[in-house]
Amino acid sequence: MFRKCLIGLALGAFVYPAGAYYVAWEGDCLPEEAGWTRQWGDEVGQYHGTGAVRTIQDGVMTMDSLYDMHVCDGSILHRSFNPAPGEMFFLEWRLAVDQVTGIAGIPTDPGVGFESDDHYGVGFTYGVDFVEGAYDDNLHISITPGEFHDYRLTSWDLRTYDFFIDGACVYNGWFLPNTGASRLAWGDDAQGYASLHRWDYVRVGTVPEPGTAVLALVFLVFLAHVRQDF
């Protein structure tokens, strides 16, 4: 038992150090039931109307705003996000885009937006068959419509980032100065456009650098060799 307690302490101290965090919405309830703040509106103003039609089934939330192009509806998390020294920030989500329509141009509606503690931001917005940067004109990547894709962003400093789709790194970008408050937001993003899309999960957190995890493994091997002494 003492050995098990030591292993637990080692994992807590080395694998997931103090200051690290992990927040996840896994699609099994409405986001506001899991601690997120819902914000919605239409052409009249914020909190007017009913927002997108949202349904939960089999761990997936479907958002449908096709009935009104002026609807926007998002989930927002306010907290401190910046990683501590030696930690890597990550943000990941799983999304399928089925339909996007709009008044003019090439319509985009679903989206993810992030702003750091020190006012640097990054955003992604979706058409039916592509994802592009909300602030970065160089980011435009084709995706298969109607299918789930896994998206992941990682950064050590919240100044530069790597962007992955389905496990492959597809873009290296920059966070840009932003005046907004520290927050993570996602959902039906734009007024003037409407969409049908599905969210499986949204996760954000920090993890220690690889060297820290290796140190933890070495420590556990040491415990295994001396277990007969306890």
pLDDT of residue 179: 80
Domains of the chain: 23-209 (2.60.120.200)
Q: Are 35 and 29 in contact (CB under 8 A)?
A: no
- State the greatest distance between any 2 C-alpha atoms of the chain, in Å, as a whole number: 73
Q: Using CB atoms within 10 Å of the CB of residue 224, give its burial: 0 to 12 exposed, 13 to 18 middle, 19+ buried.
A: exposed
Kindly report the pTM of this predicted structure: 0.83
Q: What is the pLDDT of residues 40-57, one digit of tens each?
A: 999 999 999 999 999 999
Q: What is the pLDDT of residues 163-188, one digit of tens each?
A: 999 999 999 999 999 888 899 999 99
Q: What is the pLDDT of residues 5-64, one digit of tens each?
A: 333 333 333 344 556 899 999 999 999 999 999 999 999 999 999 999 999 999 999 999
Dihedral angle of Cα 60, 207, 110, 79, to the nearest 10 degrees = 100
Q: What is the pLDDT of residues 68-110, one digit of tens each?
A: 999 999 999 999 999 999 999 999 999 999 999 987 778 999 9
Q: Are 118 and 184 in contact (CB under 8 A)?
A: no
C-alpha 99/C-alpha 128 separation (Å) is 6
Q: Strand ranges (DSSP E) for 156-217?
A: 160-165, 168-174, 176-177, 183-188, 193-208
Q: Are 209 and 14 in contact (CB under 8 A)?
A: no
Q: Which of 185-189, 204-208, 218-222 shows the lowest mean pLDDT across its residues?
A: 218-222
pLDDT of residue 216: 44
